Structure formats: C-alpha cells, structure tokens
A and B are shown apart, each in its own frame.
Chain A
Amino acid sequence: MTLLSFALEALAKPWPWYVAGPLIGVFVPALLLVGNRTFGVSNNLRHACAAIIPGRVAFFRYDWRSEGGWNLAFALGIVIGGALAARFLNGSAVIQLSDAARTSLASFGIHDMTGLVPRELFHWSALLSWRGVVLMVGGGFLVGFGTAYAGGCTSGHAISGLADLQLPSLVAVLGFFAGGLIGTWLVLPYLMGG
C-alpha cells in the first residue's frame, strides 16, 4: 500500500466532529491572516445580486469585484471541494445518522436515508408538488432573505460572530435556532402529513 492510498483511505472515512469542528474554526484566523477578511459565506448571495441584477437597489450598488471577489473565489472553492470529496473521498457515502433520527424521520415518511438530501423530497419533479415548492423554493428564499436581513449566516454569525463575543451574533444565532425548531417541529410534520 502506498502512502497516498493509505492517506486517501483514512480521509475517506467519515470525519468525526472533534476533527471537523476545530478545522472549521481555523478558517477564521486563516482568512484574517491572509487578507483581513471575516469568515462568512452568505455575502456571496449579495455579491451575486450585485453582479447579475443590481437594478436600482442601493444595497446592490457597490463594487462587488473588489469587495466580494475574495468571497466568490472562496465559494467557488467550496463547490470544487464538495466535488473532490464526493468523487475521491467517498463524500456522498451513507451518513452515520443516529437511530433516533432514523426512527423520527421514518415516522413521517422519509425512508431513503442514503443520500446527502432525502431523495423523496429533493428531486426535480418534486417541484410539481406544493410540498416540493414550499421546501425548496420557500426554504431557499427564507435562507437568502433571512441571512441578508440578519447580516450573516451560520458562518458569519454562529462561528465568526460568537468567536468574537459579539452580542448581535448571539441574538441572530438564537433566532436561527428558534426558527429551525419551528420549521422542524411545527412546519415539516404538517408538510409531510399533508
């Protein structure tokens, strides 16, 4: 066995939280040290608007190339990283979900737990059903609207903001979580039953 194949085999196993979490944390100092940039991904949605269809909206009238070029490069990197992990590191393997979660999800009709997303809910023809539209179009819209309104997402507020002990980020993270609980416990069961 060569060293490379040994390394690939080790990396192809699922990465535990105590490896992945600290690695994710390192992106905060890394981006600051490289170019004084605050770790965050959601600004790319704003840069996309500014680049594609700024219209007359003041929020999108800025030089997205100089302010957002680094972040767009980072996002493109994430796409490539996802592709490399899926292709060479067994990244779309069946996940190590807890039995409790499997039982709960099965109880409202999700049985195929083999992909990164539930195939029963997330596929192109699901867009022909109300449920698919609410989940994919509605969910995406809320993520984009909410993160722009709150001025950050999980990376910008939950990781960068909390690490810097910023109170507004704590408020935003409590909001993320409260919203997630409402979506999970109140709305999803209703959508799945209907």
Chain B
Amino acid sequence: MTTRARPSAHLALYLALGVMFGVVVTKSEVISWFRIQEMFRFQAFHMYGIIGSAVLVAGVSLQLIKRLDAHSLDGDVIVVPPKEMGHGTRYWLGGLLFGVGWAFIGACPGPLFALLGAGVSVILVPLASAIAGTWVYGALRPRLPH
C-alpha cells in the first residue's frame, strides 16, 4: 500500500468503477448464494468460467502494462506489489477459514456490498460479523503464525 494522499477528484472515478463492478456481479449472479453452492458442488461451469476468464483478461492486461511500461493517470510507474510468502501459513490457513465462511454465507466481500445494495437487508449481519472477524484478526495478529 502506498501512503500518499490522492486527490479527492479521483474518488468519484473509484466510485463510478465500483458502481460498474456492482452491476456486473449482480447481473452475472455472482452474488447469488445458490451460484456459490453450485460451484462448490461442481454442478455448473458458470462461476469457473467467470473467475477463469477474469484471471485471463487481468493477466494479459498486466503483461501489457508491464511490457509497455505504462503509467497511471498521476504519471506514476505502475507497480503491483508482490506478496511475501514467509512460511505460507497465513495463506493456506487464512484461506481455509475464509473458504468455510464463503460456503456458509455464499458471498465474498465484494458481493456482500452488492447484496446490501440489492436489498438483502439481513446481509448486514454477516457484513458486521466480517468486520468483527477482521478486528479479532488484527488483535491476535502478533500471536498468529504467518
């Protein structure tokens, strides 16, 4: 994460991108609990097609950005910060816990926000609980293996 402040004019741009993302995940049924169950039961290609083609498009774009040495609107060189492996514990264990929760609520963080907008008011419960879970992680962080 960079620590530089960004001009607030950009916030409108991020808001607009968020609106588009919210429409895409809602219209493609990615936010549906049923679709996530269907994925984990291997009963349709839908979610695999979405994630796979998203990774493909993002991957090709990243290669282009790196090879063309592209700059952001601010004129900065674009950098994708690498993730540090360490012992790897945080990735498999954190991933595993996240996955169980994902199967339960049928939504990961992006879709949680879209579901709230789509009028599923009870989603405030898992959303608040997810914030609490992140807080507990923060408090326990010095004592957890990473």
Contact = CB atoms under 8 A, between A and B. Distances in A.
A168 B74 contact: no
A97 B91 contact: no
Contacts of B139: 55, 57, 59
User: Which secondary structure characterizes the binding site on chain B?
Assistant: helix
Interface in B93-127: 93-110, 112-123, 125-127
Contacts of A182: 96, 99-100, 103
Contact of B53 (A22, A44, A97): A22
A130 B31 CA distance: 24
Contacts of B90: 149-151
A48 B105 CA distance: 20
B109 A175 contact: no
Interface string A4-23: 00000001001111111111
Given A67-B3, A101-B37, A166-B83, A83 B118 contact: yes
B134 A45 contact: yes
Interface in A42-95: 42, 44-46, 48-49, 52-53, 55, 57-60, 63, 65-67, 69-71, 73-86, 89, 91-92, 95
B108 A143 contact: yes
Contacts of A104: 37, 41, 43
B95 A176 contact: yes
Nearest to B7: A35
Interface residues of B, number: 124
A109 interface: no
B31 A116 contact: yes
Contacts of B36: 180
Given A83-B117, A168-B84, A141 B101 contact: yes
Contact of A86 (B94, B101, B117): B117
Interface residues of A: mostly helix, strand, loop or mixed?
Answer: helix
Could you say which interface size class chain A belongs to? Answer: 35 or more
Given A148-B134, A155-B108, 14 more contacts: A15-B28, A21-B50, A23-B24, A42-B109, A45-B131, A75-B113, A84-B19, A91-B26, A95-B29, A117-B106, A146-B95, A175-B98, A180-B40, A183-B102
Interface of B: 1-6, 8, 10-41, 43-47, 49-59, 61-62, 64-65, 70, 72-74, 76, 78-85, 88, 90-110, 112-123, 125-139, 141-142, 144
26 contacts: A20-B24, A21-B50, A22-B56, A25-B53, A25-B58, A34-B73, A44-B113, A46-B138, A53-B135, A59-B139, A70-B11, A82-B115, A91-B23, A100-B41, A101-B38, A118-B34, A138-B101, A145-B134, A150-B95, A159-B54, A166-B83, A171-B88, A172-B94, A176-B96, A180-B36, A187-B103
